[in-house]
Amino acid sequence: MADKNLGTKCVQAGYTPGNGEPRQIPIIQSTTFKYDSSAEMGKLFDLEASGYFYSRLQNPTNDYVAAKIASLEGGSAAMLTSSGQAANFYAVFNIASCGDHVVSSASIYGGTYNLFAVTMKRMGIEFTFVSPDCSEEELEKAFRPNTKAVFGETIANPALTVLDIEKFAKAAHAHGVPLIVDNTFATPINCRPFEWGADIVTHSTTKYMDGHGGALGGCIVDSGKFDWTAHAEKFPGLCTPDDSYHGVTYTQRFGLEGAFITKCTAQLMRDFGSIQAPQNAYYLNLGLESLHLRVKRHCENAQAIAEYLQQHEKISWVKYCGLPGDEYYELGQKYLPNGSCGVVSFGVKGGRAAAEEFMGNLRIAAIETHVADARTCCLHPASATHRQMNDAELAAAGVTPDLVRLSVGIEDAADLIADLEQALAKI
Ligand SMILES: *Cc1c(COP(=O)(O)O)cnc(C)c1O
């Protein structure tokens, strides 16, 4: 499958049934797995043999789907998690522990920001947040001797900034640490961060990958290219023996291709258990089968809507990197030449009251806190996710009172535009 194109991988990668086996990925709805002898089971517990024994750590349904995502991203190994939050937590915590430090783009999903700045800080891991648009010199200054990773989002939710992946990868590698990129909004259809130097990719599969607002989930993919052993002193967890598995050293036993995901499964899944339900993995796979078609349509619709809004007299500004003149147009052309995502943000003239009135008038676009599924939805952050802030605080967070975030679905663009038209006409 490695030599195939993305559409073929969306439909076929990850699972190949044998003679007489189910054509669709089977849902292995079993917590546990049976073995003929204790000796065989013992080998699994020492990581000497590979196999399933308990679905808190691994399940075959999940692994078929993870293999598909690894193939789409061009990675060496992947694992599914119960949510995007769990994926980002595991990806960072697998290499950073108490006393360590991480450099992160400041333009990231609010939930991830809170995970890093509040919850992981309580675990003794410090984060330095930098602007995604910082100069190389500013980025350089953020590093410390105990820095273990760099983190960013390909297209940030909700700010819609585009990450200069090469700039962040170069800085990370100069300091002997990997770049972790959350590729949720772009999906591998529009950007494969490994091709630009990223080392680990994460996803909230809850968004475009599932694509139907049906199942929470996350995924971590390893490029298999980062050489942990070249900086062994920074990554003792990967390069020195793990006493909880009879002294296995992950890089030695599983190579660069397998060390990161094996350690993450064997230690973090074992201890935290944030695994995706096999049933959800099955739904996720149904979504993946049409990802290439849906993402294309999301982008076409969003582009048409961004262009429509841009020329509308009641709209004060539009943010979408597919628009020439957008702050991120050039980076978008470089990293996302086939389209970015379906999310567009814009300002309604008349501020907060006008934005609320406009949204109340919409008939097709529903008001939701969700983004990135087949149905168009919208959110007024100033009265929802950022409700506790006053206008000055909103401005500092880059969320103006007039901002409407529209997640454009895969309906017909003409109907969506007509809906916007009638909603704008009434204000
Ligand atoms: C939604 C989202 C997350 C969190 O994912 P959940 O599946 O909701 O836990 C992480 N990163 C990005 C970019 C997101 O949009």
CA distance 211 to 270: 29
Nearest one of 81, 117, 90 to 101, comparing CA atoms: 117
C-beta atoms surrounding 379 within 10 Å? 23
Residue 74: left if φ>0, alpha if ψ -120 to 50, beta else—which one?
left
Distance from residue 36's CA to the centre of ligand 1 (Å): 41
- pTM of the predicted protein model: 0.97
CB 258 within 8 A of CB 265: no
218-222 sheet: strands from edge to edge: 77-81, 218-222, 200-204, 179-182, 147-153, 101-105, 126-130
* Vertex 319: Cα angle to 314 and 320 (nearest 5): 125
Indicate whether residue 303 lines ligand 1 (CB < 6 A).
Answer: no
What is the predicted pLDDT for the residue at 395? Answer: 73
In this structure, what DSSP letter does residue 271 have?
H
* Vertex 138: Cα angle to 135 and 144 (nearest 5): 140
Indicate whether residue 107 lines ligand 1 (CB < 6 A).
Answer: no
Indicate whether residue 85 lines ligand 1 (CB < 6 A).
Answer: yes
What is the predicted pLDDT for the residue at 358? Answer: 95
CB 416 within 8 A of CB 376: yes
Low-confidence ranges of the chain (pLDDT < 70): 396-397
**Pocket perturbation via mutation, ligand 1, pick of 114, 162, 184, 373 by most ligand atoms within 8 A of CB:** 184
What is the predicted pLDDT for the residue at 389? Answer: 74
What is the predicted pLDDT for the residue at 235? Answer: 98
What is the predicted pLDDT for the residue at 397? Answer: 67
CA distance 270 to 258: 17
What is the predicted pLDDT for the residue at 28? Answer: 98
What is the predicted pLDDT for the residue at 391? Answer: 79
CA distance 42 to 38: 6
Distance from residue 215's CA to the centre of ligand 1 (Å): 12
What is the predicted pLDDT for the residue at 104? Answer: 97
